[in-house]
């Protein structure tokens, strides 16, 4: 049963290598090349979003690659949370 108090975050939503049609949900200037689940979880923890990793799921448009997904608290709109996570990953990579 799905938890409706959480947003689903797929790594593909943040991936700079993907087009909008292929699943990217953030602007290209915020997108991250090859975002990892670990980076998403770490940035979500830093943003106090209580991330939960779900390992056995596959993104429908990328079903052959098994990365999983991250569930985060609905503390803002999904678009805003995706942008916050992308910005935090950029900060983590720059240090």
Judged by DSSP in three states, 45 sits in helix
Q: What does pTM read for this prediction?
A: 0.90
Taking only the tens place, the pLDDT of each residue in 5-36 is 899 999 999 999 999 999 999 999 999 999 99
Question: pLDDT class for 42, splitting at 50, 70, 90?
Answer: very high
| Cβ-proximal residues to 79 (8 Å cutoff; 6+ apart), any chain | 25
pLDDT tops 60 at residue 1: no
Contact 68, 40 (CB under 8 A): no
Domains of the chain by start residue, with CATH:
6-94 (3.30.56.30)
**What pLDDT, on the 0 to 100 scale, is given for residue 35?**
95
């Amino acid at each position: 049963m799905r938890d409706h108090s959480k947003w689903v975050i797929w790594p593909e939503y943040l991936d700079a290598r993907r087009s909008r049609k292929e699943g990217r949900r953030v602007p290209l200037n915020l997108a991250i090349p090859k975002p990892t689940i670990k980076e998403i979880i770490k940035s979500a923890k830093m943003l106090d979003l209580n991330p939960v990793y779900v390992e056995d799921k596959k993104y429908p448009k990328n079903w052959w690659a098994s990365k999983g997904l991250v569930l985060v608290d609905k503390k803002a709109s999904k678009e805003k949370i995706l942008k916050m996570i992308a910005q935090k990953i950029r900060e983590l990579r720059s240090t």
